[in-house]
Amino acid sequence: MTSMFRFGLFVFMVSVLAGVAPVGAAPQDGSSGPAELEPVAGPEPVAEGPGEGGSESALAAAAASGEQEVDIEELERRIDLLAEEVERLRSGEAEVDLTDDQTRARGLAPSAAAAYRGGTGVSIAGYGEMLYENYASARTSQFDYLRAILYAGYRFNDRFLFNSELEVEHAKEIFVEFAYVDYLATESFGLRAGMLLIPMGLVNEFHEPTVFMGAERPVTEQSIIPSSWRENGGGVYYAGDTVAVRAFVVNGLDGAGFSSSGVRGGRQKGGKAKASDMAFTGRIDVTPTPGVFFGASVYTGGSGQGEIVVDDIAYGIRTSIFDVHAQAQVRGFDIRGLFAQANLADTDRLNQFLGLTGSSGVGSTMRGGYVQFGYDVLSQVDAAGVGLSPYIRYEKVDTQAAVLAGFTRSPSKNNSYTTFGLELKPIPNIVVKVDHMWVNNAVDSGVNQFNVNVGYAF
């Protein structure tokens, strides 16, 4: 239905509700020419006289007058509503109702998509979470207001919009998590430039606490895919009904921040980022049916930034990361799985530059993966929107899966993690997650911990 047709339809409805035939309508008596407007008849005069008949007539007239006033007020209310709808249609500010699958295809968690749902103007959304960690060791327990987030967006027109995530971490550190401009060339294709979330894994783009299970993000998606991971750059995205693609060119990582624990320290976070080495990152997802998708992601680029120099030779420290992932949320079940691997070149020179030796060196191969299973036990009953999901996750991470000759692998970098917990959602926008994580390795250096997370999104 075109906008002009819809506009005409609403004008016709206003005319009908007002009790007036549209201009140019044929008269009801069959004659030609425009219909004449007849004045609305008022209440008939009440005959005055003695007796009960006069009183009854007066009461009936008063009642009719009161009903007429009520009808006029209701008519005015309806006309106001229709006028607002007509104005919205004329301005082209149609609301856009995106499903979770459609927001994910654009690389956005549900609340982060607020700017894509409304008409022109400002959009505000956000999320937050606090985390309590109790360790089975001498390490001091910690209670942290982990994140307080504000999404701020502005839609200029039906083609251009700005979207951003402003983050306060640990109640004191302020960051820009992402900030970019989108050009919406079509309903499903667009151009994006600014500070971008790297389109990898199941958490990095979709890190609102109401979206992922677990009090903490999976270790694989902290050490191998260093969530939250954002860099400066630009590229394209395609958000089809069954296939979604995102491809960006961004500044590369800074290899001087790598360690035996992973590549997390190499994130540049958009602030005066070194860009002598750039990188490419891309992702493809297939959604065969609502709630189910699978796909793969890749990142590759130099991490030397012209600064990893040994014997007057600068080394690029090419860093390539890939992952395969899948997720199914059907009939109360929530099943997720991911495998990720990072391969680094010239790690012997990198370790020499960093002064790392033996088992403390940066690995040439790092890998990790996990499977997770959850089930909402209230999903098949009328629970008034309440969700209660026990979940279990098994994860294996080795940040020194391979090292070059002259270095040794540390057993403490090869860990397995088993997490069992319970997630309560009294409403879809609020979550309480309680879990226990057991950490195991060959030298028994893992520290178990108990976690409680309270999160929200709006």
Residue with tokens 């199941």: 202
Cα distance between residue 13 and residue 82, in whole Å: 8
CA atoms within 13 A on the CB side of 86: 15
In order of their start, the domains of the chain are: 1-20+52-92 (no CATH), 100-457 (2.40.160.10)
| Contact by Cβ (8 Å): 171, 146 | no
**Range 159-176 average pLDDT:** 97
* Tokens of residue 228, six digits: 């939250």
What does the pLDDT look like over 335-384, one tens digit per residue? 999 999 999 999 999 999 999 999 999 999 999 999 999 999 999 999 99
Report which of 200, 126, 206 is spatially closest to residue 455, judged by C-alpha positions. 126
pTM for this structure?
Answer: 0.79
pLDDT of residue 410: 97
For residue 406, the one-letter residue type is G
- ∠ at Cα 299 (297, 304), nearest 5°? 165
264 phi, psi to nearest 5 deg: -55, -40
Give pLDDT, residue 5.
47
Using DSSP's 3-state secondary structure scheme, residue 65 falls into helix
% of the chain with per-residue pLDDT over 90: 78
Nearest to 398 by CA among 262, 214, 228: 262
Q: What is the pLDDT of residue 274?
A: 97
Residue in the structure block whose two tokens are 């389109």: 199
Is residue 398 classed as helix, strand or coil in its secondary structure? strand
pLDDT of residue 71: 73
| Spatial distance between the Cα atoms of 191 and 185, rounded to a whole number of angstroms | 7
Predicted pLDDT at 403: 97
Residue whose token pair is 């309680």: 434
Taking a C-beta distance cutoff of 8 angstroms, is the pair 287, 105 a contact? yes
Angstrom CA distances, 401 to 175, 259, 261, 359, stand at: 32, 13, 11, 12
Greatest extent of the chain over all pairs of C-alpha atoms, in Å:
121
Q: What is the pLDDT of residue 48?
A: 45
So what's the pLDDT on residue 22?
Answer: 41
Does the pLDDT value for residue 89 go beyond 80? no
